[in-house]
Amino acid sequence: MLSTMDFFWERIVPNLDKGLWLTVQIIAPSAIIGFLLGVFIGTLRVFGSPKIRKVMDVYTAIIRGVPLVVQLFILYFGLPSIGIYFQPYTAAVLGFILCSGAYHSEYIRGALLSIKQGQLKAAYALGFTRVQTILWIVVPQAVRRALPGCGNEIIYLIKYSSLAYIVTCMELTGKAKALAAQTFRFTEVFFAVGLYYLFLTTVATWLLAWLERRLSIPGFGGKSR
């Protein structure tokens, strides 16, 4: 039997590295498209017609009220019974996008509502149309206000990407589970995969803090106001 260190370097690391790549492939599109979807939905929830607002509010309430596991189960195991089939990867990414879009939209909505009426009035008084106002005045401000919340959401997404294993996507957690079941060395393997995720979340936290600094403008964000 291999010693712990040897086991770590010879078995765990090569195995998990393969899973890590898939995890990144899941996270990247989910985070980006999810955020854009969130901006879209959040904007509709504030500026849409009453009917659209209602629909989007219901969507957000449902997604936020139901565990992500259940959503993934519906997408991957449930929808085939009405003839819709997804690959595991597609189901996972789709589930993450729909879910994080709803959560992002909540932050975006709050940020949009926090923008003072005067900003809109000033834009209209300069001859901006409604769409131009939203695009050039409201959204740039709202995104900065929403950034801390949305950043948190992306950290959550990284952690919840482990649920892709449930729809049989062999990413980090899936690989770890398989390796652990093979070797019966649960503690080492899961501790190692925990470190992998800690690495991902810590790096993401740094990147988001950096991005927040880059985009920071005097008068926005917690400290200066």
Partner 1 sequence: MLRSEKRTHRLLRLYIPPDSGWRGTLSALSGFLACITVFCCEKGMPEFFTTLNSLIPQFFDKLLVIWEALPYILGGALVTAATIVGALGLGLILGIPMAVGQIYGPVPVRLFVRLYVWFFRGTPLLVLLFLFYFGLFQFIGLDVSAFVASCLVLGLTSAAYQSQIFRASISALPMGQMKAARALGMSDAQALRNVILPQALRLSIPGWSNEFSILLKDSALAYALGTPEIMARVNFVATRTYTHLPLYIVAAILYFIITLIGLYFLRALERRARIPGYNM
Partner 2 sequence: MRPEYRYALMNTQTPHPPVLSMRNISITLGGRKILNSVSLDVERGELKVLIGPSGGGKSTFLQCMNLLVTPDAGSVSIEGASVNPHDKKALCRLRQDVGMIFQDFNLFDHLTAVKNVAIALRRVKGMSREAAEERAMHELGRVGLTDKADLYPAHLSGGQKQRVAIARALAMDPKVILLDEPTSALDPELVGEVLAVIRDLAKSGMTMIMATHQMDFATALASEILFMEQGNIIERGTPGSLLAPDSATRTRDFCTRLADM
DSSP state of 115: S
Query: Quick one: 44 or 200, whose CB is closer to partner 1?
Result: 200
169 contributes a contact to partner 2 by CB under 8 A: no
128 binds, among partner 2, partner 1, none (CB under 5 to 8 A by kind): partner 2
Amino acid (1-letter code) at residue 189: V
Question: Pick from 9, 77, 136, 206: which binds partner 2 (CB under 8 A)?
Answer: 136
Q: What letter would DSSP give residue 117?
A: H
CB of 135 to partner 1, least distance (A): 27
Binding of partner 1 by 162 (CB under 8 A): yes
CB of 52 to partner 1, least distance (A): 14
Interaction between residue 14 and partner 1 (CB under 8 A)? no
Q: Per rule CB under 8 A, is residue 222 in the interface with partner 2?
A: no
The contacts of residue 30 (CB under 8 Å, 6+ apart) are: 93, 96, 97, 100, 157, 161
The CA–CA distances, whole Å, from 17 to 12, 20, 197 equal 8, 5, 12
- Does 140 interact with partner 2 (rule: CB under 8 A)? yes
What does 217 bind: partner 2, partner 1, none (CB cut-off 5 to 8 Å by kind)? partner 2
Considering only residues 180 through 219, tell me which ones interact with partner 2, judged by CB under 8 A.
217-219
Binding mask 166-205 for partner 1 (x = CB under 8 A): x------x--xx--x-----xxxxxx-xx--xx--xx---
CA distance 84 to 28: 25
Please count the residues of this chain forming the interface with partner 2, following the rule CB under 8 A.
Answer: 24
Interface with partner 2 in residues 67-126 (CB under 8 A) = 116, 118-119, 121-126
3-state secondary structure 194-210: HHHHHHHHHHHHHHHHH
Size of the site for partner 1 (CB under 8 A): 42
Q: Is 70 in the site for partner 1 (CB under 8 A)?
A: yes
**CA-based Rg of the chain, rounded to a whole angstrom?**
21
Number of residues that this document lists for the chain: 225
Residues at the site binding partner 1, with contacts judged by CB under 8 A: 62, 64-71, 73-74, 77-83, 155, 159-163, 165-166, 173, 176-177, 180, 186-191, 193-194, 197-198, 201-202
